[in-house]
Amino acid sequence: MKKYKIVLLSGDGIGPEISEVSKKVIKKLSKNHNFDIEIIEELFGGIAYEKYGSPAPDKTLDQCKKSDAVLLACVGDIKYDSLARELRPESGLLKLRSALNLFANIRPVKIRKSLLDASTLKKEIVEHVDLIVVRELIGGIYFGKPRGHITDTKIPKAFNTMVYDSAEIERITEIAIKIANQRNKKICSVDKSNVLEVSQLWRDTVLNITSKDKNISLSNMYVDNAAMQLVRDPGQFDVILTSNLFGDILSDLAAMLTGSIGMLPSASLNNDGPGVFEPVHGSAPDIAGKNIANPIAMLLSASMMLKIGLNEEEAAENLETAIDKVLSKGFRTADLADRSSEVLSCSEIGDKIMDEI
């Protein structure tokens, strides 16, 4: 029997609620598909800061490094916003990404037929949406140096640096090519090369690498136009390749095409070693503790973990089919509900999905 060791980071806010559902589902899938999975739970985010004074304690990072995959819920809360930047939960995310060298973030955005009405856009605009955002995750402006505050001026100033070298752009482009080759072979690279030197290097490097694969059709788009096109005609996109900052913004925009941020999974990967699989959403402090969060983004992240991280493709498909069946029967969490749906709590929709596995 195959054996896996995964680390579960429940984090903050709605994290523990959606993690509880995920744990049960993964255990059931492992029984049904004959593999053994050890789930090691570690503290991460605000809760880790409370106990260890760090949002990403060494013990947590060590366990993650030794695992086959990491399943992360979400971190953050307004009460940590006044902490020094390196102590905030969100800094823990950056530390984890750096520690595991997770340079590629993959965010699939696919409209599920049963949820066509949940989108804020018209049905005919979103019905053919099936795209993947490939975002560079450990470079660019979030990590660039120098950065900081200048206080010895008349008025306060602050600055950050958006920097990439061509090797960083090459390796993320190669990931995008790999993914595009499994799909429609179309890559749209998003940048701001009309204004930024770093984007010009991005554009030149992407062109150089993609031109070596004759199957790939490459287009380029400025980020402002890409934001507009994602709302005007999102069905035109197959693989969107972009940098850390632009990918952060565009993938949340793309998230809303599906109706709720509670439906979107992601995977953060490197070329070897464990990946981190996590929902796109944050810790939703406004609904935390009420058992009303949508656990599906985390379950779809678990499905990506099974498929990409553990090579348990059948279990992943079983889970996705179970989710589709529950949605097509009209069961919804509050974030997705319309007049015709039956609104269930986080744990209740989890139980319905368990029944379909």
- Active centre residues (catalytic): 142, 192, 224, 248, 252
Choice between 107 and 192, CB closer to ligand NAD:
107
Q: Which residue of 234, 282, 309, 350 would you call a contact of ligand NAD, by CB under 6 A?
A: 282
Measured distance CA(312)–CA(58) in Å, rounded? 29
Q: How far apart are CA 63 and CA 167, in angstroms?
A: 29
Provide the token pair at 350. 């989890």
The reply on whether position 285 binds ligand NAD by CB under 6 A is yes
How deeply is 123 buried, as exposed, middle or buried, from its count of CB atoms within 10 A (0-12, 13-18, 19+)? exposed
Question: In 222-285, where does DSSP find H-type helix?
Answer: 223-232, 244-257
Site string for ligand NAD, 62-81 (x = CB under 6 A): ------------xxxx----
C-beta of 259 vs 274, nearer to ligand NAD: 259
Whichever of 216 and 292 has its CB closer to ligand NAD, that residue is: 292
> In degrees to the nearest 10, what's the CA dihedral of 143, 109, 206, 213?
140
- Is omega for the bond preceding 146 within 30 degrees of 0, making it cis? yes
CB of 144 or CB of 285, closer to ligand NAD: 285
Site string for ligand NAD, 293-322 (x = CB under 6 A): xx--x-------------------------
What does the per-residue mask of binding to ligand NAD show for 174-213, with x meaning CB under 6 A? Answer: ----------------------------------------
Least distance to ligand NAD, CB of residue 120, Å: 13
Query: Quick one: CA dihedral 350, 354, 72, 266, positive or negative?
Result: negative
Tokens found for residue 291: 């058992």
Backbone φ and ψ of 343, nearest 5°: -85, 125
User: Whole-angstrom Cα distance, residue 329 to residue 331?
Assistant: 6
| 264 makes contact with ligand NAD (CB under 6 A) | no
The contact pattern for ligand NAD, residues 5-34, with x = CB under 6 A and - = no contact, is ---------x--------------------
Contact flag: residue 48 with ligand NAD (CB under 6 A): no
Residues that bind ligand NAD (CB under 6 A): 14, 74-77, 90, 93, 261-262, 278, 281-287, 293-294, 297, 335
